[in-house]
A and B are shown apart, each in its own frame.
Chain A
Amino acid sequence: MKNIESMLLEITNLHARVEEKEILKGLNLSIKPGEVHAIMGPNGSGKSTLSNVIAGREGYEVTEGTVLFDGKNLLDLEPEVRACEGIFLGFQYPVEIPGVSNITLLKAAINARRKHQGEAEIAPNDFLAWVRDRAKLVKIDPKMLSRGVNEGFSGGEKKRNEILQMLVLQPRLMILDETDSGLDIDALKVVSDGINALRGPERATVLVTHYQRLLDYVQPDYVHVLARGRIVKSGGPELAKELEEKGYGWLEAA
């Protein structure tokens, strides 16, 4: 028996659809604080859909099931409230927002969260020091932060910027949707270091990935295979290696 009280995220029999098409078909997943879960699976199996449903993105309709975060019903909350509660989604395709600078976004995000927790706004100097430190960690030149959000950033820079936002916001649940895709070796190292820097007994991580190489840097506690809208297999780190060798065919047949 699972102990519900100690779960950070508890997904039960989740069904969700996008534009009338059912994508998630009875998915179950439980994550305790401190754990790292990797989710793998074929293209189009619903990994991003799951990430977006947890983050509360509009356009995804949950038709059945529950999602509890820290015991709270997540599905009732607006996406911004979920973020303030400590959920962070690193997007597979981060958007560019010309005219809204990265630094403005970071400050608005930090203060939104502080307000949600009943705290005062962060002092300007503390904010700058905090951001400057984290930017160093992910090797982003702070000058880039005056540019529009992801504006003119390379693919790798966008992913590092996602990690920077995560480091700045210190979420409790990090969901990283293919943050490792399209990164060169150095950038992969930077991104992995960023994720590892936040690992701790209070936080949990969900890594959506197609590649073993990220898991070499960020050791998962569990590996799941998402196919046809549900988790079809779960195991330890060795499952990822097995998938890398054999692909998904043997699971589809099962």
Chain B
Amino acid sequence: MSAQPHELATYSAQFERYANALTAAERAPRSVQFSRFLASGFPDKHQEDWRYSDLSRLAEQNYEPDVTTADGLPIVLLPDADALVYINGHLQGAPSTSRWHSDTCELPPPATGVDALNAAFASGGLRLRLDRNTKLEKPLQVLFISRAEAQASMSHQRHRIELGDQAEATVLLDFSGGGGERLATHFFDVRLGRGAKLTLYRIQNEAAGGTLVTRIDAKLSRDAKFEALTVDLGGGFIRHDLDVVLAESGAEAIVAGLYAQAKNSHIDNHVRAVHAAPHCTSRMTYRGLVDEKTKAVFNGKVVVQPGAQKTDSEQRIANLLLSRKAEVNAKPDLEIYADDVKCAHGATVGQLDEVALAYLRSRGIAKEVARAMLLRAFALEILDRIEWPALRTRIEAALHLPSELTVDFEA
């Protein structure tokens, strides 16, 4: 490992201060995690999973664990939704929201790397638990706002979403940044009971100085349905892992994403679907609009375990490279240990269709407008999946996309 313990001195000092405030019982498991973090360091390019996303530069940073409770930031709440707001890891507002919040969190088995760092410092966060046959009346918008502090700062949270059998919910994980040097890590544990249905959006619009590592681990029971949609709009260094285990037959995971508009960002999406039971379905559809000096990494993997017959999976990744300085590494991957399966995958990296652009211009449409129309057309595959109008509108506005005209000639 490249990040040697002595290079992590700032983290050790921060951890010592943090651990001193804990009880002995609280401290023990955290210390285990932290020593694992010291031993493994930040992941770097020598690790296959982090090949294009070297985090070892963070070793030299000095992030203060954030302790202030902030307020007064502009917060964009979506209409017809319930909201839960965290600023730099701290729950905002009335305890009425505590219905979905927990101060404490469960720690994973001793981990390595960023997982260990998160586990060492993590506070609680979203804790959504639905009993069987219940439905969250309104979508839940969970805002994670990064606010600039006087010094570089960091926060780490662990969250949990648990839906009982046949329960249903729509949740938006809404990350945004107000500037400053920030490191935030968020781990989400998602458990879906039989026939449960979760629609999970993850939208990220961090500031340029923001380093955000998010990871969603989802486990699906029989006939559960998981729809996840991620949109990356900004950020300095962004790494997102989505791991779905289709644990029982009939489970279905439909995951999609768009990374776009980011300026000079590093955006790495790692998506895995593990088919551990027969008759499960997974769909991965990702689109990238990669401009300026942005570097986008997409790694999609489908694993079909022995016995997972009649697996139906598909991965489709398409990218538009919009500038010479932009970079895309897109890799679909398949590991199949069953013989009666249907698995399709494909990844493309292309450029804006110059012929289409010329056609639109020949009709009088200015180059910039024509370009935006084509970008919108490309992103449509993902945007069309957003079944929450206010959210879709907000994303389209953030992308500066022209609106599409719909008319009804029957009228």
Say which size band chain A's interface belongs to: 35 or more
Contact A143 B409 (CB under 8 A): yes
A124-B365 Cα distance, complex, nearest whole Å: 18
Contact A99 B361 (CB under 8 A): no
Q: Which residues on B sit within 8 Å (CB–CB) of A95?
A: 353, 355-356, 359
Known: A97-B377, A104-B373, A112-B366. A132 touches B409 (CB 8 A): yes
Contact B364 A109 (CB under 8 A): yes
Of B121-129, B152-160, B242-250, B400-408, the one touching chain A? B400-408
Q: Which residues on A sit within 8 Å (CB–CB) of B404?
A: 101, 104
- Residues of B92-133 whose CB lies within 8 A of A: none
Contact A89 B362 (CB under 8 A): yes
Known: A95-B355, A100-B377. A78 touches B405 (CB 8 A): no
B367 at the interface (CB under 8 A from A): yes
A99-B382 Cα distance, complex, nearest whole Å: 12
Known: A57-B358, A97-B360, A100-B377. A108 touches B365 (CB 8 A): yes
Q: Which residues on A sit within 8 Å (CB–CB) of B369?
A: 108, 112
A145-B408 Cα distance, complex, nearest whole Å: 10
Contact B366 A128 (CB under 8 A): no
A143-B355 Cα distance, complex, nearest whole Å: 25
Q: Which residues on B sit within 8 Å (CB–CB) of A97?
A: 353, 356, 359-360, 374, 377
A-B CB contact pairs (8 Å), 24 listed = A56-B362, A79-B362, A80-B363, A80-B364, A83-B361, A83-B362, A83-B364, A89-B362, A95-B356, A95-B359, A97-B356, A97-B360, A99-B376, A99-B378, A99-B380, A100-B373, A103-B407, A104-B404, A105-B360, A112-B363, A132-B409, A142-B409, A143-B410, A146-B406
Apart from A100-B356, A105-B365, A108-B365, what 15 extra A-B contacts exist at CB < 8 Å?
Answer: A55-B362, A78-B361, A80-B363, A80-B367, A80-B370, A95-B359, A97-B359, A97-B374, A99-B374, A100-B360, A104-B404, A108-B360, A116-B364, A143-B410, A145-B407
Q: What is B's interface to A at a CB cutoff of 8 Å?
A: 353-356, 358-367, 369-370, 373-374, 376-378, 380, 402, 404-407, 409-410
Q: What is A's interface to B at a CB cutoff of 8 Å?
A: 55-58, 78-80, 83-84, 89, 91, 94-95, 97-101, 103-105, 107-109, 112-113, 116, 128, 132, 142-143, 145-146, 148-149, 165, 169
